[in-house]
Amino acid sequence: MTPPRPPSRTSFNDDLGLGIGTESGRGVNKDGTFNVRRLGMPRFRSYEGYHRLITMGGLHFLGLVLLGFLITNAFFAAIYWSIGMDHFIRTGGDTRWDRMLDAFFFSAQTLTTVGYGHISPRSHMVSAVAALESLLGLLSFAMATGLLYGRFSRPHAQLCFSQQALVAPYQGVTGFMFRFVNRRSNQLIEVEATVVLSLLGEDLLTRRFVTLPLERSKISLFPTSWTVVHPIDEASPLAGMQDAELRKARAEFIVLIKAFDDTFAQTIYQRTSYIAEEVRWGARFKAMTIAGPDGRMVMDLNLVDAAEAVEG
């Protein structure tokens, strides 16, 4: 006779916020982004621009800065050119090409406030435009300062998860488990794990979501690695399921890790997921740590995936 399973039942649909109801692939990608496309996003807002400038790749960002510098210079050079290059004190050549480049480089020397002075305004109109350009230069640079700080100080969890989740005997029962390490030098504290199982219903149309109870859902200190374990007892939604059932139900284990970054005093989150095809049955993790020759512990981060088969 089966017990009524009240804890698992109450947790059904308990913690989703994930309206993923299609029969299609994974809801959360390996890198933690959601597998959702959004239509109707606002076209442009200043904070969206900030968001993009903060999160884009470094080379992309540098390229944009350079492009902005060139375009702004060209814009002001065109203004100086239209005022006329005879409004400048110049020492260089006087071909059309010389004058154009002098307009451009005077603009660059003004925007960066380097202001050598070998090209300098002769007329007040040029002085007025140059005053505005140098103010714009200072403000742009102020924004660049903020953007660079925002880029570097943004929290970057870089937890490295095992490629596969394992199902193996664990302390009397069977356990579903995966592990992760911190690949950064920052110290993580009070690390919390939440694992939500998403299963296609028997109608193959709707998905249900269950928060899996974990052997331990929070650790105070995180010096090495953490193997998160869901014990598959009789109350578990995985009870009695095998690899084939998981695949048929297009199971997805959605993982949410929360931690406090001690170095930067920031709370950080990282997500990932394991689909049925990424679960290995009958294997357990091998130790990542050995005692070094000096008695100090040594952990090899490359061993995060190391596992070995066990007899079930």
Site for a second copy in 181-240 (CB under 8 A): 183-187, 189, 191, 194, 196, 216, 218-226
Residue 113 binds a second copy (CB under 8 A): yes
**In which region does residue 5 sit, left (phi positive, over 0), alpha (psi from -120 to 50) or beta (all else)?**
left
CA distances from 272 to 33, 70, 117 (A): 8, 41, 57
Cα distance between residue 272 and residue 257, in whole Å? 9
For residues 105 and 281, which CB has a smaller minimum distance to a second copy in the complex?
105
Residue 134 binds a second copy (CB under 8 A): yes
Beta bridge partners of 160: 181
CB of 243 to a second copy, least distance (A): 22
CB of 242 to a second copy, least distance (A): 25
CB of 94 to a second copy, least distance (A): 13
DSSP 12: B
For residues 92 and 240, which CB has a smaller minimum distance to a second copy in the complex?
92
- The single residue among 3, 31, 37, 43 that binds a second copy, judged by CB under 8 A, is 37
Q: Is-contact 193 302, C-beta < 8 A?
A: no
Q: With CB under 8 A as the contact rule, which of the stretches 3-11, 77-85, 140-148, 242-250 interacts with a second copy?
A: 140-148
Instruction: Using DSSP, state whether 27 is helix, strand or coil.
Output: coil
For residues 86 and 240, which CB has a smaller minimum distance to a second copy in the complex?
86
Angle between helices 46-55 and 124-153 (to 10 degrees): 60
Residue 58 binds a second copy (CB under 8 A): yes
CB of 172 to a second copy, least distance (A): 15
Residue positions counted in the chain: 312
Residue 3 binds a second copy (CB under 8 A): no
Helix (H) or strand (E) holding 64: helix 58-83
Binding to a second copy, residues 245-284 (CB under 8 A): 254, 256, 260, 262-269, 271
**In which region does residue 7 sit, left (phi positive, over 0), alpha (psi from -120 to 50) or beta (all else)?**
alpha
Residue 55 binds a second copy (CB under 8 A): yes
In angstroms, what is the C-alpha Rg of the chain?
30
Residue 83 binds a second copy (CB under 8 A): no
For residues 89 and 310, which CB has a smaller minimum distance to a second copy in the complex?
89
- The single residue among 149, 234, 277, 308 that binds a second copy, judged by CB under 8 A, is 149
CB of 1 to a second copy, least distance (A): 28
CA distances from 160 to 28, 134, 157, 224, 303 (A): 16, 46, 9, 12, 11
Q: Which two tokens stand for residue 17?
A: 């916020």
Q: Which two tokens stand for residue 42?
A: 């606002």
Residue 110 binds a second copy (CB under 8 A): yes
- The single residue among 9, 10, 14, 312 that binds a second copy, judged by CB under 8 A, is 14
Binding to a second copy, residues 284-303 (CB under 8 A): 289, 291-292, 295-303
